[in-house]
């Protein structure tokens, strides 16, 4: 009798837990300013519209989140995750991420097709940043205009570079290759030669973006490559810095929303992805997190229009790397970086 009562209680309790869990959407993304902005701009409006609760999980970088998805075979314990186009492609190939289409996520139809294609069928592009050149306005005599300005003598020992474990390093090498007569994907040698020369100008390498930006914020370095979204946040913080999209162009960091293949709340997760891609959500995200969008039909302030990727022309001007080729070359490039670039800094 006692056993039957216990069993009945356990069944009731587990169904209550399942029900409560079923109404919660677990979104995994970043902490810090990102968390505050996403809560206000996206999560609260979504909760109000759908009458659900979003549990925000800020633990882990996108690399750690992807490792968790891989280790759990697509059941990492969160329903939506913010990653990059490279991880979307790889996760899709391995069957770890849920494919999306205009049927399940109608707003995908409004995204720029070329950018969407880069991320593949499992990634919904919700944000685009470009690699900008961030500099100290109070230290440089003239504002830079080109990637080649990083090699100027006045910047000797006044540059900080990312380590290769920060994907910014590979993108920067590709840009430098393109600027110095090579290309993004195959003829990369000019990029490594340029990076070795640039490393000789550098005070060192750091992996985390937060540490990289501390170098320019306190004046130890006067210029560095940086993603434009965080660069804008630094400008807004009042630091004597500014950033440019160099005249030779730049590569994008394509951020994606992904749903793990074994997510508990797949349907609600796809609704969240669709909500994030709504015109109003994208406008709100571009203006609050200071990034670009793959939706060319959004309406934003003139300031955002001038500095962020918000139009078809902006999207067309981007240098788009072949992410499959990048993924295939990454290990070799990593070794070349350690042999050719890192020693040049000493």
Partner 1 sequence: MSSLALHAEKGRPVRTSLIRQYIPLLPPGLILLLFFAIPMGMMMGLSFQPKGAEAASLANYGRFFTDDFTLIGLGRTVLMSGLVAICVTVMAYPVAYFLARSRSPWRAVVFALAIAPELAGVVLRTYGWLIILEDHGFINNALLWLGVISEPLPLAKNMFGVVVGLTHVILPFGVLSLLTSLQGVDPNLEKSAQILGASRLSVIRHIVLPLTVPGIVSSMLLAFTMSASAYATPAILGGAGFKVLATMVYEQVLFYVDWSFAAVMANVLLVMMLIVAFIGSRLEMRLHKKLHF
**What is the contact surface with partner 1 in residues (CB under 8 A)?**
61, 63-64, 66-67, 70, 90, 163-165, 167, 204-206, 220, 330-331, 334-335, 338-339, 342-343, 345-346
Judge contact between 188 and 151, C-beta under 8 A. Answer: no
Q: DSSP of 31-60, one letter per residue?
A: -THHHHHHIIIIIHHHHHHHT-EEEEE--S
Judge contact between 75 and 244, C-beta under 8 A. Answer: no
Q: How many helices (H) and strands (E) does the chain have?
A: 15, 9
> Distance between CA atoms of 1 and 80, rounded to whole angstroms?
43
Judged by beta carbon, residue 215 or residue 276, the one nearer partner 1 is: 215
Judge contact between 260 and 96, C-beta under 8 A. Answer: yes
Judged by beta carbon, residue 52 or residue 203, the one nearer partner 1 is: 203
CB of 290 to partner 1, least distance (A): 26
Judged by beta carbon, residue 219 or residue 296, the one nearer partner 1 is: 219
CB of 187 to partner 1, least distance (A): 22
Judged by beta carbon, residue 70 or residue 266, the one nearer partner 1 is: 70
Judged by beta carbon, residue 95 or residue 181, the one nearer partner 1 is: 95
CB of 67 to partner 1, least distance (A): 6
What tokens appear for 109 in the block? 């139809």
What tokens appear for 326 in the block? 């990048």
Burial of 139 (0-12, 13-18, 19+ CB in 10 A): middle
Judged by beta carbon, residue 2 or residue 346, the one nearer partner 1 is: 346
CB of 210 to partner 1, least distance (A): 12
Judged by beta carbon, residue 313 or residue 331, the one nearer partner 1 is: 331
CB of 330 to partner 1, least distance (A): 6
Judge contact between 220 and 157, C-beta under 8 A. Answer: no
What tokens appear for 192 in the block? 């490594």
> Distance between CA atoms of 80 and 273, rounded to whole angstroms?
8
CB of 326 to partner 1, least distance (A): 12
CB of 63 to partner 1, least distance (A): 4
């Amino acid at each position: 009798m006692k056993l039957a009562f216990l069993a009945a209680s356990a069944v009731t309790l587990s169904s209550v837990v399942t029900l409560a869990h079923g109404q919660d959407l677990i979104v995994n993304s970043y902490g810090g300013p990102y968390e505050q902005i996403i809560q206000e701009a996206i999560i609260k409006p979504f909760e109000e519209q759908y009458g659900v609760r979003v549990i925000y999980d800020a633990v882990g970088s996108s690399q750690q989140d992807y490792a968790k998805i891989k280790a759990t075979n697509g059941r990492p314990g969160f329903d939506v995750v913010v990653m990059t186009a490279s991880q979307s492609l790889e996760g899709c190939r391995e069957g770890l991420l849920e494919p999306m289409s205009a049927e399940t996520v109608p707003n995908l139809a409004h995204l720029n097709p070329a950018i969407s294609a880069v991320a593949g069928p499992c990634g919904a592009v919700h944000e685009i940043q470009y690699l900008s050149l961030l500099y100290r306005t109070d230290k440089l005599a003239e504002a830079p205009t080109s990637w080649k300005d990083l090699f100027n003598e006045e910047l000797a020992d006044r540059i900080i570079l990312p380590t290769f474990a920060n994907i910014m390093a590979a993108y920067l090498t590709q840009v430098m290759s393109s600027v110095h007569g090579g290309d993004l994907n195959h003829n990369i040698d000019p990029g490594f030669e340029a990076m070795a020369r640039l490393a000789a100008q550098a005070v060192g390498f750091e992996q985390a973006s937060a540490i990289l930006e501390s170098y320019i914020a306190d004046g130890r370095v006067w210029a560095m490559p940086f993603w434009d979204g965080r660069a804008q946040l630094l400008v807004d913080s009042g630091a004597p810095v500014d950033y440019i999209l160099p005249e030779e162009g730049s590569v994008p960091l394509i951020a994606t929303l992904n749903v793990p293949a074994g997510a508990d709340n797949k349907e609600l997760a796809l609704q969240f992805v669709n909500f994030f891609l709504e015109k109003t959500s994208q406008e709100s995200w571009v203006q609050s997190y200071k990034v670009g969008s793959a939706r060319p039909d959004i309406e934003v302030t003139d300031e955002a229009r001038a500095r962020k990727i918000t139009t078809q022309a902006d999207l067309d001007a981007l240098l788009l790397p072949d992410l499959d080729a990048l993924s295939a070359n990454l290990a070799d490039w990593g070794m070349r970086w350690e042999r050719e670039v890192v020693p040049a800094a000493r």
